[in-house]
């Protein structure tokens, strides 16, 4: 997986940072990708990353209905109608999302050339399954913000083990359809009648990665639950340390509070984002350096910055 930050600012755009949007790309799945939030200008950011084509976008997850996380969505949906090969798109989000989009589409007389499905999450504090298939399971929980806001936990399914190529060679099995059968867990019968079971030539399954992407939130128990032992946690850090009272008044977190949440959750890596417009890039880096005393593997997001998942402590730019 590849996490790409399209917008990392809070409230309003600046010359350094656009408002919130994150792409989660799957190179192994023909470069398909998902979006988490779509603040104003998101489609312009996408134009700058050639491999993120709207025809490859099939899911969008909205954390909440504040404009800096949402106002780019109608334009993006409309533009996607002009993209050849754009198939069904599903948008998940809080109650009210369908009324918002239906109203805009109706008033603007927009007619999409693809199927749009809108799924509204339940209004409850408990964990709810948003999506479950052979690739992953995604759950959501409500966070502590001024309006209903969700965090998402993406849990990749275990990956099939690797084939023992040397053993296959000794058995006289050449690359071809038999490899595919064994990878799928099927048995293969040799010409002499010998049956080769997949478990004889496959290594143990590999654990899938877990990514947690939170919307705006003050420190809360659900944020820690969603982030439990995540390979990568994305947590807002609207304010610098020392502004806890101001953060609480607006339903946000300071960077130190984000670091504490990652530490409590035993996450492997923390990427902080959603910085107030008052902070220039150098100020954000100073904030991050201070917060590393609480959680060492902390990285400050910037527009266009990418992280491979799983990743090492250095990240990827």
Positions at the binding site for Zn(2+)? 64, 66, 68-69, 145, 216, 274
User: Residue 84: phi, psi to the nearest 5?
Assistant: -65, 135
| 195-196 and 210-214 strand pairing | unpaired
Give the chain's count of helices (H) and strands (E). Answer: 10, 16
Angle of the 73-80 helix axis to the 97-108 helix axis, nearest 10? 60
> Which residue(s) pair with 5 in the sheet?
22
- Which of 37, 68, 231, 303 is catalytic? The answer is 68
Question: Per the structure block, which two tokens stand in for 277?
Answer: 């417009």
Catalytic residue at 58?
Answer: no
Compute how many other C-beta atoms are within 10 angstroms of the C-beta atom of residue 88. Answer: 10
CA torsion sign, 70 to 288 to 239 to 234?
A: positive
Question: Per the structure block, which two tokens stand in for 107?
Answer: 């008033």
Spatial neighbors of 57 by CB under 8 A, at least 6 apart, are: 32, 33, 34, 35, 80, 86, 89
Annotated binding site: 64, 66, 68-69, 145, 216, 274
Question: Per the structure block, which two tokens stand in for 95?
Answer: 């109650």
| 306-308 and 2-7 strand pairing | antiparallel
User: Residue 30: phi, psi to the nearest 5?
Assistant: 60, 35
- The DSSP code sequence of 130-154 is EEESSSEEEEEEE-BSSS--EEEEE
- Where are the alpha helices (H) located in the chain, listed in sequence order? 42-47, 73-80, 97-108, 165-170, 177-183, 198-201, 221-226, 244-250, 255-265, 281-291
Of 294, 297, 296, 293, whose CA–CA distance to 311 is shortest?
Answer: 297
Catalytic residue set:
68
């Amino acid at each position: 997986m590849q996490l790409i930050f399209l917008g990392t600012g809070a409230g309003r755009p600046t010359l350094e940072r656009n408002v919130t949007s994150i792409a989660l790309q799957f190179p192994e799945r023909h470069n398909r990708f998902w979006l988490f939030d779509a603040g104003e200008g998101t489609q312009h950011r996408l134009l700058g990353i050639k491999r993120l084509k709207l025809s490859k976008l099939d899911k969008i997850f909205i954390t909440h209905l504040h404009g800096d996380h949402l106002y780019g969505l109608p334009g993006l949906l409309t533009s996607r109608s002009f993209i050849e090969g754009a198939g069904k798109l599903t948008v998940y989000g809080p109650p009210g999302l369908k009324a918002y989009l239906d109203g805009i589409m109706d008033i603007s007389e927009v007619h999409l050339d693809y199927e749009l499905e809108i799924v509204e999450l339940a209004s409850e504090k408990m964990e709810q399954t948003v999506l479950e298939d052979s690739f992953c399971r995604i759950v959501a929980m409500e966070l502590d913000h001024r309006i209903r806001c969700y965090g998402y936990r993406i849990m990749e399914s275990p990956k099939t083990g690797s084939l023992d190529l040397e053993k296959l060679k000794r058995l006289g099995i050449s690359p071809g359809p038999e490899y595919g059968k064994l990878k799928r867990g099927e048995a293969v019968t040799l010409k002499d009648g010998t049956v080769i079971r997949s478990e004889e030539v496959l290594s143990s399954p590999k654990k899938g990665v877990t990514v947690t992407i939170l919307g705006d939130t003050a420190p809360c128990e659900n944020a820690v639950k969603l982030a439990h032992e995540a390979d990568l946690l994305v947590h807002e850090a609207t304010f610098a340390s020392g502004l806890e009272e101001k953060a609480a008044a607006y339903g946000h977190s300071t960077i130190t509070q984000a670091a504490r949440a990652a530490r409590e959750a035993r996450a492997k890596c923390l990427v902080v984002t959603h910085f107030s417009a008052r902070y220039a890039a150098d100020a954000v880096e100073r904030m991050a350096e201070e917060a590393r005393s609480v959680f060492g593997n902390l990285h400050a997001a910037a527009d266009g910055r990418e992280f491979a998942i799983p990743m090492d402590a250095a990240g990827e730019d």
